[in-house]
Structure 1
Amino acid sequence: MMKGGGGVNLYERSRAKNQPHHLPRFLFITVVVAFSIVLIWYWEKAPLLTTLFPSHAQLLNLFPAAGDVKVKQVTTDLREAQGVVNISPPPLTSNNASSYFDTRGNKGVLDLVSPAPPPFDISTTAHENTTDIVKESVPSQVSEKNSDAKPPKQQIVEPVAPNKLNAPVEREGDGVSMSNVEKQACNYGKGRWVKDDSRPLYSGFGCKQWLSGMWACRLTQRTDFGYEKLKWQPKDCKMDDFTGPNFLKRMQDKTLAFIGDSLGRQQFQSLMCMITGGEERHDVEDVGKKYGLVKARRAVRPDGWAYRFPITNTTILYYWSASLCELDPIDPINGTTYFAMHLDRPPAFLRRYISRFNVLVLNTGHHWNRGKINANRWVMYVGGKRNTDKRIAEINNAKNLTIHSIIKWVNGELPKYPGLKAFYRSISPRHFFNGDWNSGGTCDSTTPGSLEVLQDESTDSVASGAVKGTDVKLLDITALSQVRDEGHISRYSIKATPGVQDCLHWCLPGIPDTWNELLFTQI
């Protein structure tokens, strides 16, 4: 028994020695499974492990849409470039979008006199606005001082469709409005005349405080006044509705100056009537003395007028300069002296007072004929000397030289006065039929020649050519006035005396009111 028992024990020991240990393997597997479960759970929670081993959702974001990559790249480049090119993207609110069009209507160039926008900080931007902000920032706003600085690494990431460059700016509570760039590009001289029973803008029987009686056709024997009921409507853009309060508000603390011939005087008187509605205004101050506009002894009238509206501190003035160039007496002590007509110099009045103006409207044209020049005893000068060039002596060439010279001079002055907007008004058309003003010419029509203007280019090629490439704007009134031959004073007068017909000046209210509506829209 002792042997058998001893044999069994040896066998069992030998078997146990040759078999694997199941218990340790089970424990090892259990530990591995438990550790894996803990690791998977902690993988989704721990930032460090997330960084080292991204989750499935994070793996998808390693390859975002192309637009997201562009936004992040441009944002990085903008932040790096801020200290170099002084980039200041637009603020988040769309209401301020138009603030980043300068006075010339150029998008993406800050007006140096305007307050700078807040610094750009992408970290404080709501994510849904990030794309719009970066796209608005792509046309970098480079200050003049840093114009030579290196541009950011990447200014344009994706092309912008041309039709979106001038897209309307949507403003809260306002629907969709035209951007300043669109307004600048609008051709206000193309369109049609439409009937508007709300016109005229002031009474033809009133406005005696500002309007010369010889131009108030309601005071004459004229019986047809249909010309007062037509309103100009540009083809592809909307004009601002003119009201006196709106105009004064827009021109608060500002001065508007008309400098030109008698057609400029008509525009000045028209504007005064439009602002006041033709009503008496005893609060309006005569400030002509501040500009040297006083009636000289034995003079029929002063060289101009200036009036100030105290309610908004707005001044409207007119200065008579038929030739739009400097006139100096050759012999000051001689009462019948000739005058040096400096074709290449602006009027002394303009040179002296331009710093006071915020809006400037220039015009000339109808005094450029040999009869007027001889009657006024004007002698052409160029470069400070009497002109001897026969080509310049030709009237049209002399006029063109003067127009180009004054526009070039004004354009050179604009950088000195950032708040100044300058306009050159195209020529007002004459309508003498069957002769000229001194040879029986008439303008007896009571209906307009047409109601529509279709051409894109100005019919005053001299004016449009002179302003091209400058910051002086063209106030183009020629074609739209050309079709309104029934609007002239014609044969009518206060005393009903027969004589020469006036087919140059206009009845007021009338066509010059539209010139001022165009001016109001473009200021």
Structure 2
Amino acid sequence: MKGGSVYRARGKHFTFTILAVICMTIFLWSYEKKPIATTIFSSQDQFILPTSDVLQVGYHNSEEAIKPEGQLFKESTNLPEETDDKTDPSENNVESLDETEGKRENYMTDGENADMQDRSQEHPSVVNTEPDQPVAEESSETIEDDTNIVSSEKKVCDYAKGRWVVDNRRPLYSGFKCKQWLSEMWACRLMQRPDFGYEAYRWQPKDCDMPEFERSAFLERMQDKTIAFVGDSLGRQQFQSLMCMATGGEESDIQDVGLEYGLTAPSGAARPDGWAFRFSETNTTILYYWSSCLCDLVPLNPEDPQSQVAMHLDRPASFLKRFLHQFDVLILNTGHHWNRGKVNANRWVMYIDGKPNQDRRLAMIGNAKNFTIHSITRWVDSQLPSHPRLKAFFRTISPRHFFNGEWNTGGSCENTTPMARGSEVNQNESSDQVIAGAVRGTRVSLLDITALSQLRDEGHISRYSIKASSGIQDCLHWCLPGIPDAWNEILAAQI
């Protein structure tokens, strides 16, 4: 009898062991597949980034000690918010457009955000390469003979990694002559700036040669195509740069086709929402649409000019939805309008799923920006199969270089020596991890210009801005000709 009891006990123990193994196997299989994790959390949970720690990637000015790469620290939460923006952005209001923008909020709460973009984007050794970025790939071939097989694979060009070099063929156009397309406030030669050394450099990728930009060849390649820039005033600078590059700054047979895209000046506005021009000879259209957040902005009361505006974080700008099918190349950018001052001044109210946002985490500006960038990228990616000829790019953030203060507290960028903080970019990851992360795994390409632009603090408008008489320097926008020309050279190469 005792023997039988022992066998029964062992049998029960064996059965229990088998059941435990089966349960553990199912659990591990489920954990690996993550079917629960991807369905429990809503879409807005998936893009909330940590807010407690910030990756130290630079220093505030040239005299601060460089912290070790990868060091984590917490930024003070007692810094003041910017609230200078009292009116909607306009052509003639530099600081209302973007002077208070530039607050990188990738990993920060509102308080942590207030001073971090300067520090995360100004160190010349912060170098920039996105491993997954789409670039001009060249085919590989296999050569076979009687004795062996030799694999010959050509290198892929990483345009984000390289150095600035002197080139006496620069600039690509004259700031004096390109008055038809270039805003006077960005034409530094018209603003009495006396030094122009910043014009004499071109970007040289590290392991390959970037095709030389030649305007007639570019327009022929873009024949019957439409190139659309959608974003903030840094996107407008890139648009104006390309117009000057494509015309050489000379008068050309070009039509204003803004009405075809609804780009007209609203009643009482200082400027239209954008511009569109068509080159008659090649039927190439280049346009710009102003959309600082890339999201859908809808007045809650269209009849009231002071109405609050629904800021739909999960919806693309209506302009994109309406005209995407007409574009062949799309370049998106955002980042500098994501601060509390801008949101409040523009009376924006965050909306999700058509309703006012109730998620306190998403109410933090940095998280809202990150969520919107991912949301818009996913939407564009979802549209690409239906628009096979469209090539979409998301341009990384353009760095700002205010030293010893902000735009309204005496901040300046008076360096005039090119490459004073270095000339080379060697890093293997983008300096803008939010946008790089958003496009990774999608068909949207990365136009990675942050690190190469970080090295060029002497290229800003500086004290020669239209606000110079009031002591305000523009260390956000760039002189043209200048740094945005290199962005367009890289764009043309990636197209």
TM-score, reference length from structure 1: 0.66
Task: Tell me the distance in 1 between the aligned counterparts of 2:482 and 2:201.
Answer: 9
Q: Are residues 1:405 and 2:375 paired?
A: yes
Q: What SS does structure 2 have at the residue aligned with 1:410?
A: helix
Q: Which runs of 4+ in 1 moved over 4 A?
A: 102-108, 158-161
1:105: Cα distance to partner?
5.6
Identify the residue that residue 233 of structure 1 maps to in structure 2. Answer: 204
Residue 502 (1) aligns with residue 469 (2):
no
Amino acid at match of 1:456: N
Partner residue in 2 for 1:304? 274
Provide structure 2 residue ranges, at least 5 long, that are not aligned to the other structure: 1-133
Q: Which runs of 5+ in 1 are unaligned?
A: 1-101, 109-130, 136-157, 169-181
1:433-491: CA deviation from partner (whole Å, max 9, x where unpaired): 01111211110000232111111211000011000000100000000000100000001
> Could you say if the C-alpha distance between residues 384 and 107 of structure 1 is closer, same or farther in structure 2, counting changes exceeding 3 Å?
farther
Seq. identity, %:
65
The 3-state SS of whatever aligns with 1:259 is strand
**How many residue pairs end up in the alignment?**
358
CA deviations 1:213-243 (Å, max 9, x no partner) are 0000001221111000011101012111101
**Matches of 1:103 and 1:417 in 2, distance apart?**
20
Q: Work out whether 1:364 is the aligned partner of 2:334.
A: yes
Matches within 5 A, 1:119-518: 164=152, 167-168=153-154, 182=155, 185-281=156-252, 283-447=253-417, 448=419, 449-493=421-465, 497-518=469-490
Cα distance 1:441–1:225, how it changes in 2: closer, same or farther (>3 A)? same
Question: In structure 2, what is the Cα distance between the partners aligned to 1:514 and 1:385?
Answer: 41
Q: Can you list the C-alpha shifts for 1:3-54, whole angstroms capped at 9, x where unaligned?
A: xxxxxxxxxxxxxxxxxxxxxxxxxxxxxxxxxxxxxxxxxxxxxxxxxxxx
Tell me if the contact between 2:467 and 2:473 (Cα under 8 Å) persists in the aligned partners.
Answer: no
CA distance in 1, matches of 2:350, 2:466: 38
Q: What is the CA–CA distance in structure 2 between the aligned matches of 1:106 and 1:351, rounded to whole Å?
A: 33
Matched to 2:214, the amino acid is: T
> Deviation of residue 259 (structure 1)?
0.1
Q: How has the CA–CA distance of structure 1 residues 106 and 307 changed in structure 2, closer, same or farther, with 3 Å as cutoff?
A: same
Check whether the contact 1:104–1:471 (CA below 8 A) recurs between aligned residues: no
Contact 1:325 1:346 in 2 (8 A): yes
Give the SS at the match of 1:391: coil
TM-score (norm 2): 0.70
The amino acid of 1:492's aligned partner reads Y
CA–CA distance in 1 between the matches of 2:355 and 2:136? 37
Q: Deviations over 1:123-169 (max 9, x none)?
A: xxxxxxxx97xx8xxxxxxxxxxxxxxxxxxxxxx9977x63xx24x
Cα offset for 1:280?
Answer: 1.4
1:95-114 deviation digits (Å, cap 9, x = unpaired): xxxxxxx9996979xxxxxx
Which of structures 1 and 2 has the bigger CA Rg? 1
CA positional deviation for 1:496: 5.7
Between Structure 1 and Structure 2, which shows a larger proportion of helix residues?
1
Compute the displacement of 1:331 (Å): 1.3
Query: 2 CA distance for matches of 1:488 and 1:255?
Result: 29
Q: Offset of 1:493 from its aligned partner?
A: 3.5
Mapped to 1, the partners of 2:401 and 2:467 lie a distance apart of 23
- Map Cα deviations across residues 348-380 of structure 1 (whole Å, 9 max, x no partner): 000000000000000000000000110010010
Distance 1:398 1:160 in 2: 53
**Using the alignment, how far apart are the partners of 1:518 and 1:232 within structure 2?**
9
Return the letter of the residue paired with 2:271. Answer: R
RMSD of aligned residue pairs (Cα, Å)? 2.2
- Note the C-alpha offset of 1:498: 3.7
